[in-house]
Structure 1
C-alpha cells in the first residue's frame, strides 16, 4: 500500500442518513467547466525541461479543446473501437498529455491499456522495441504538447452524452500498481472508482478538522490561487490525482518539468511557481532536510504531503518545525483512504482515520493491527476498493499499524504483511521502522533488512554517493562507513525485538553497479533487491559462519580462553563490552544464540582434539554456565586444562544463600505500628498485565465491583497501547481501559529502589494500595537461577518493602509455579498428595533455574510473614492452556504447540506423554480463579502464607486429546519414545528443520517426559483450599477435545 492518500474513521451519517455520490464524470466535468468558466485555471505546465523556460497556464477551455482534438486524432489514426473492451496503451513523457489522452479515450469508449500503442516522439525508440516484440500491436506517434494545446475556437466539438449511472461500472483506465512487493501489475479502475475520489471533500468530518490530503484547498472560486506542485509520475495514480483534484475540486496544479528531482531543482521550482502545497517522496524530503535553502522553501508552503513510504523520525521532526507535514495514504487499487491531520505536537507520523470512512483496525498480535475496510451500505460512494473488487465483502489491506501509546485514535504505519521477515526460529519482525531510522542518516540513501528464514538479520546499505567517479569500495572504506553509521543502527535496533537486531559484522554496502531497484513511488522493491543481491547475501551469512568457526587460542590459559569466549559472544550478540562476570542471559543472549554458541564450541574443540568430551558442551550445559567466567571453567574442564579445582557449592547451599540475601535484614514492624483497616474496595498493583495471563487478570479485576483501581506495573513505556492491543486481540472489552480513574499504566524498574518511581508516586501507592498481584516473571526453563535474581527476586523483595511501609499493610499475592513442587515425594507419614502449604526444602523443586527462582520467591514471602508480618498468598500455577473463547491464542512457542507443530511436520504424534497428566487450566478460567481467591473475603486467610494449587482437579490423559489432532492433521500416533527418537536422529538440525520442528529446541524437556523424570508431576496435588475459595475452580471439568480443537484452530499451523 502506498503511503500517499487520505485515511479512515467512523461517522454519524450525513443529514437524512444517506451518502450520495456526486455523479460526475471527468470528461463531462471538463466540458461543463469550460462552458461555464472557460478561463478557469486547470494548471501550469512547463515550457521546457528547465525552470528558467517558464510555465504556461492551461485553462479548462484549453483542456476541453485539446481533448476534443485528441479524440478526433485517435479516430483518424485508429477508428472508433470495434469491441466493448478495445484497449490503447500510452507511452509518453511525464506531461499533461496523459490526462488529455485518458479523457479523449473516455469520449471514444476506448479503455487505456494495450492492443494499440500510442507514444510521444521522445519515446519512439522504446515503442519500436515493443512493437518488434509484439507482432500484432499497432503503434502511432501522438501530437506534441505544443500541437495538443495549439487548437483554438475552430476545434470541432466531440460530443459525449453518457451519464455517470451509465458509466459507473465501466473501466475508465488501467494503471500499474507500484510493485513494492513484487512485479507491478495492471489495475483496471472504473468511473465509479473515480466517483469515490470526487466524493472526498464531502466526507463528514468532526468540526474544525482538516483532511490529510488536499481536500481543504477545494474551492468554488472561479479564479483559484492555491496551486499544488505535482512532481510524481503520471503513469502512477499518485501523479494522476493532481489532474483529478483540479477537475473535480478546483485545485489547480503545477506540473514539474521532466527532470530528475534534486534539491537544487526543487528549490528553483518552488521559488518560481510559489505553490501552496506539494506532495513529495520521503527520499526527496530527506535530502531537502539537510539544506537550509530547502527547509526555507518547504516552509514557504501551507503544508507538505509525503507518500510512498514512512519518513525517518529524525527528518520528520526537523521538517515539522518549518511546515505542516501531512501523510495521506492509499493505493492503486484502493484510491484515497480518508484521514485527518492528527492533533497534538509531534504526531505528524500518525494517521487518524476519518470516522465516516469505516476503517476497522483488526489486531493480529504483537501489538500490530491490519487495516481492514468492511463493505457497508454506502461503500460504493466512499470506498474505491469495492469498485476495483466488487465481489469482496471486506478488504484486507495487509498494511500493519501500531497504536499511539496514549491516543487510541492515532495509528503509525508499521509495514506490510508481505514485508514481515520470518526468521528460521519462526520469530517475526517488521523491518520498516529500523530501515527508516537508518535512512535518516545523511550518508545513507537506502537501507534493506534481510533475514527471511535465516538465523539472524543482516542489513544492506545503499550509501549516498556525492562523487560517482570516486572509488569507495575497498574493505577499509566500508569498515569506516559502517563505523560511522553504527550509532544510528544501534538506535534503530531498539525498534525491533532483540532476536531481529543487526550486529555490526552483518552490515554490507551495496554495489554502485547494482543500485537498489525502486518503485514509481520511490520506495525500495524489496523482492527485486533481494534477488539482485542473492549471491552477496549468501556470502554475508557464510562469512558469519566462518567467523563463528574460530580456532581455539594457541595458549589455553584462563585469560586466553576467557578472551576467546568474549569474542564469540560479542559476535553473536553485537555487544562489545561484556565483562567476565556479566549474566549473559540478562544481557540478551537468547536460546538460538545459545544453540549457536554450543555448535561453535563443539566444532572448535573437535578440531582441537577428537578425545575431548564435547558432549559436555551441549546447550543445556551452556545454560548452566551463564557467565564468561563460568563458561571458561567449563571449557577448560572439557579441554582437561582446568586450574585448581574448588569444592563445588551444593544446590541447597546456593539457594539458601539467595534466600538469606533477600530476607536476612527483614525485621518486625515497630511495636504499636498502626495499620489501616481494609478498604471497602481494593486498590491493586498488578505486574505483567500485558502478558497472556496478566491481560485476563486485568479484565477480571476491572469488571469486579470490589476493585476501585488497578495500577499496572510494566517495564515497557508503551504498556498502555500494548494492553489495548492485547484486549482487542483476545476479544475483551477495551472500554474498560478508558477510565484513568480505574486503571493506570506505570513504567517501573523491578530491581530498583521504589521501582524507580519518584517519591510522590511511590507515596501514592503507600497510601492507597491494599493488594499486590505479582505476576511478572521470565519464563525460560534453560536459564540458571542466577539469571532470575535481577530483576525478579529483587522485585519480590521490593514488594515486601512496599507492603511493610504501606498504610494498609498490602497483601502480597505471588504467582508461583508447580515447578516448586515438581520433585516432591510422598512422606513417611503417609501423605501422598502434595499439600497446599509452603515448602521448606529446595529438594521439592525441579532442578532448573525457573523452578528454583519461584521457590526462592515463595521463601521470601514466607520469611516476610514470619519476620515482618507481611500477609501473602502463594498461587502455584500449573500448565496454562489457551483461552476457551475463539479469540486469543495459546502462545505458539510453548511446549504443547511445539509438540503439535513438530508432529504435523513429521506425520507422527506421541500417543502418550510418559505418564504426564493433563491437568491444564484455560487462561481465562485461571484469571477468574485468581481474582475469586484474592477478592473472596471467606478466603482471607486465617493463616499465612496461604498456598493455593491452581491445577485442574479433573485430570485426563493426553491420549484422550490425540483424536482432535488427528482430525486436523494426517498424523499417526506412536509412543513418545519413538517420536522422540526421530527428533534425536537429526544430529545437527538446519534452521529450516528447527522452524518446522520446534520441539528440537526442547529435547531435554521431552527426554525428561520420555524417561519419566517428570513423573513426579503425576503425583496427586491437593487443591482443596483452591476449590473452597473459588467457585470456578470447584466447577472445572477435564480438558476436552472441543477445547483442543479450538486451540488447534487458533495456532493454525
Structure 2
C-alpha cells in the first residue's frame, strides 16, 4: 500500500506481474485517511483509489479538456468544520469500478497557463514519461510562455543528453497526441535533461513543482531564448515577389498540413478563425523567420520578430504588408499603435459626432479646434447661447469662427465645414430646440461634452438652477440617443472643477485628492460656483448608477488652466493675468510659496520688476489703489479670492491624483511643467492685446 504520491507505472506493473497485491491509498491532513484498507481481489485495479464509504465525500464534475475523460473534484466535510473542503486533486473515474474508485491525475494547482491564456494539465505528458523504465521523473513547464517544455530526470546518469532526448522523443510525441494541440511539445530544444536527484522532492518523495522551476530557472530561461530564435529549414520568400501573398499561403499550408482548409484560407482571413492554436502560431513564425529576416532589404534579426508575431499579424495580408514595409525600411507596421489604428479605421462602427456646450470660451474654443481636426470625428455641433441684445449682425457660426481666430485657432475651410453652430436656450426642455432638430440629434450624436458654465464666484448655489436644468436635458438627450440607437452607448462628459475638492486636504489631512466621487460637501469650496459643480457631479453619479447600461458618464475636474503653449493666448479676465497686470501697476510681485520662484523670476525679468514682497503686503498695496484705476488694477476685483483661496489652491495644498487619467490619456501623461519660453509667450500675448503695458 502506498500514498502521498503516484506509484510509477513501470514499478507497479512489474510488482503486479510478480504477484504482489497493490493497494492505492490517499489521505489529507484536514480529513484523515480517505482510501479504504482491504485485501485487494482480482476485480481491483491498483491504479485507482477506492474511497471510503463511511466518509461524507462528494464527487462533482470538473472542467475537462475537450476529447479527454471526464474529470472530477472531491469535496469533503471535515468534522467540526462549518464549510466544505475541496481537495486540489484532479480525478478520473474507473468506469469498471464500484462508483467510488478514482485515479489521481495530479493536483489542480499543477495547471500551467500559457501566455495566450490557454491552459495545460501536464499529467499525461509527465506520467507517460515517468512510466518509462529509464526515467525517474518528468516535470512540465511553460507558465506565461507560448509553448510547453519538459524537465526530464533519468533514472541513471546519462552522458549523451542529446542522444537521450532522441530516445525519449517518441514518448513525448505519443503524449502530445493525447493532449490538446496547444499542449504539445514542438521541439527537442524544449526538453531539459538533468542529472538524477536534481529535482527537489518533498518528505513523501513527490516532486516539488514550483521549487523545481526555481532551481532550474536559468535552464528554463535558456530554453525560451533558444526557441525564440529557432527556425525551420524552408524557402526564403522575397518581399519583392509579385506573388508574395500566394507564396506565404503555400508556406503556411505546408507547415501546418492545412491542405483541407487551403481553399478557405483567403488572404484577409484571420488564421485563428480557422482554428489556429498557439503552438501552430509558433510553428508558422519559425517557418517564416528566414523570410522575415532575410526576405527584405532591412535584414532584421530574429529577436526583433516577437513570439507573438502571428497574433500581431493574423492574416496573410498582414504578413505581406509587414514584409513590404520592412523592405522599404519603414517601421510603421512594427508599431503597436499602427496596428491599433488600422483596426480602429477598419472596424469603426459609426460616425463620431460630438455635441459641445461652451464652445466660445477659452477652453471651449480649443476643444472645437481639437475635435474638428481629429479625422475620426465627422461633425462638431456647438450649442451657444442666444444673444438677444447683440449689436453685431454676425451669425452664431461667424461668432464661433471669430472666437477661434481671436485665440489663434483658425480652421481651414475643409475643417470648419465640420462645425455646426446652433443658437438656443439649453435650460428649456429639449435644450430649447424644435422637436425635429432634437430628434435629429438623437439619431446622430455619439458624444456629449458639457463645458458651458458661468464663471462668477459671487453667485449662490441657488442661482445656478438654469445649469441644473441644462444638465438634466443633456442627460435626457443621452438616454434618447440610446433609445433611438440601442447599439450606441453615448458618452456624456461633464467639465467640473478643482473647486469641488479644494478642501479635501483640510477634511481628510494632507492627502492627494483621489479620482473618485466626493461624498462630503465639506471637501468643496464654500461658494456657489463650486457647490453648483458639486451638485452636478452628484447628479451624474446617480445617473451612472441608475442608467449605466444606457450611457457612459465621465467627469473631469479642471484646475487653473494656463494659456496656449502655441499662441500664448490666455484670457485676461482670469486671476493670474490679473495678478500680473496689478503687479505691473504697483511695481512689485507677490512672494508665493511652493514652486513659484522660477516663474516669478521670469515674470520679474519680462516686466522689469525688481521688487518681490510677501503676498499679504502685495494684497494690501493692490487694495490701496483707488477704484477709478480698476482697468489697470484688475486684481482688486478679486481680492476676496486672493485673500482666502489663492495661496491654498496654488501652492501645492490641493494636488489631484491623475494616475487613472494619465493611463487613459497620452496627452496628459506627457505633460511637462510650464517653461520659461511659454511664460514669455503669455506676456507677449498680453502686450500685443493691449492688456499689459509695453
State the TM-score bracket (shorter-chain normalisation): 0.3 to 0.5
Larger C-alpha radius of gyration, 1 or 2?
Answer: 2
- Choose between structure 1 and 2 for higher RCO, CA contacts under 8 A separated by at least 6 residues: 1
Normalised by the length of structure 1, the TM-score is: 0.30
